[in-house]
Structure formats: structure tokens, C-alpha cells
Amino acid sequence: MDENNLILPNHLAIILDGNGRWAKKRNMPRSYGHIVGTDNLEKMCDVIADMGIKYLTVYAFSTENWKRAQDEVALLMNLFRKYLKRCEKKAVRNHMRVRIIGDPTALAPDLQEEIHYLEEMSSGYDQMYFQIAINYGGRDEIERAVTKLADDARKGVLPEGRVTGETFEKYLDTAGIPDPDLLIRTSGEQRISNFLLWQLAYTEFYFTDTAWPDFHKEDLIKAIEAYDHRNRRFGNA
């Protein structure tokens, strides 16, 4: 199939999973899987930009991932530090606006500063929109949104009456970003793991056994081919 004839998802979301198992299979520590997984994210970001996909959202660290061993959490935070720095160049290359979704307040102050800097320096780009979920949980996002919404209701900022989905979405981390059309989860698991609970209402799901460090352009094309053959419905007949 010619990749140029594929119908692309406007918004692609990916649960980057399987780094640990990928490394274990090679008798390497989990950290090695995270390093190769991060390098792969950098490469795939360019591939996805070059294909012309407008929105990309990746799940890098969940609100539940803090429960992992301390040294693994520390390594992941250090990788984010380096990755976000390198992401500045990607933003320029791909004319890409980068935003972090999730609750940054639990992150180290220097990491929060780096996030702030990256978001600011890329805020004028509009060729592609890249969201990275760090300390993100769908339930946590909804809790934070409802808290802000209740605050505004108390202040009298909200119109009275029923809160609509349209109003509610403005309080989510993804405000202004269209819902994902296709969600890919690598490495065999078939669950959402607290990702984008509100936004995935009508998203097509694609699961593959390939682990994230091994997920390359040809695997992405396979996923998009499968998506291309889906008969998308939104409750209509």
C-alpha cells in the first residue's frame, strides 16, 4: 500500500508501553529500555511530522507510575530532562507547538522550568501540535478540571444552569485540542491505564504486540492502514 494514499488520523495518541519487557528480553536493565524508548520517540516524532499528522499526544508517565521503584522513577525524570531539552530542536525542525499535559506541580522545580520554557518557545508554531503526558492521569485531570470549574462557579464566572460538555472541556488539560482519532498501544496490553478518559470517547483503538523501542515507521503505517479500513461511527447509523 502506498503510504501517500492513506487517510491519516488528524490526532494520533500513543501509549508508549513495553520498554521494561523489551530490555528484559535482551537481559538488560529496564533503564536501557527507557533510554532506547526515548530515542525512538525522538525519531518517531519526526516520522509523524513528515507524514503530515497534525496532532500527536504521547503517554510518557502516569500518575500511577510514581509507585515504581525509586531508582526507576529517578531515571525516567532524568530522561525527561534531557528529552525536553532536545525537544526544543524538534519544535524548530517541525514547526511544532509542544505542550505538557498532566499535573506538573509534583515535578522537580527545574523540570517545571524546562517545561515552561519549551511551551513558551514553541507557542507560536502551528504546523504540528505535540502533547506529552507527564504525571498525567485521566481521573486526576477530571478532578482538577471539576475543582477549577467549581471555583469559577463560586465566583459567578460560569453561566448558570447545566454544565455542558463544551464548557467542561475548556477546563481539561487538552482544552482546544480535538479528540484523538486513533489510539495506539504498543506491547500487547489492551487497556487504557487512565489515559485521556474523556477524550477517547469515539477514538479507534489499535493494539500491537510490538514493544515501543521496536515500533518504527513501518509499524505505524500498518496501524494507519488498519485505521483507514475502519468504518468510523459516532453513534450514527
Binding site for Mg ion (CB under 5 A): 17
User: At a CB cut-off of 8 Å and minimum separation 6, what does 5 contact?
Assistant: none
The residue nearest Mg ion at its CB is 17
CB of 3 to ligand IPE, least distance (A): 26
Q: Which partner from the list Mg ion, ligand IPE, none does 193 bind, CB cut-off 5 to 8 Å by kind?
A: ligand IPE
CB of 189 to ligand IPE, least distance (A): 5
Which sign does the torsion angle of CA 9, 10, 15, 18 carry? positive
Distance CA 220, CA 100 (A): 23
The residue nearest ligand IPE at its CB is 20
Catalytic residues: 17, 65
* Closer of 17 and 181 to Mg ion (Cβ): 17
Of 94, 81, 58, the closest CA to residue 183 belongs to 58
User: 204, 227 in Cβ contact below 8 A?
Assistant: yes
CB of 65 to Mg ion, least distance (A): 9
* Closer of 63 and 122 to Mg ion (Cβ): 63
* Closer of 89 and 191 to ligand IPE (Cβ): 191
Question: Where on the chain is the footprint of ligand IPE (CB under 6 A)?
Answer: 15-21, 59-62, 65, 76, 187, 189, 191, 193
**Residue corresponding to grid cell 488528524:** 10
Of 156, 136, 148, 157, the closest CA to residue 199 belongs to 136
Q: Which partner from the list ligand IPE, Mg ion, none does 21 bind, CB cut-off 5 to 8 Å by kind?
A: ligand IPE
CB of 2 to ligand IPE, least distance (A): 31
Torsions phi, psi for 98 (to 5 deg): -110, 130
Grid cell locating 106: 509534583
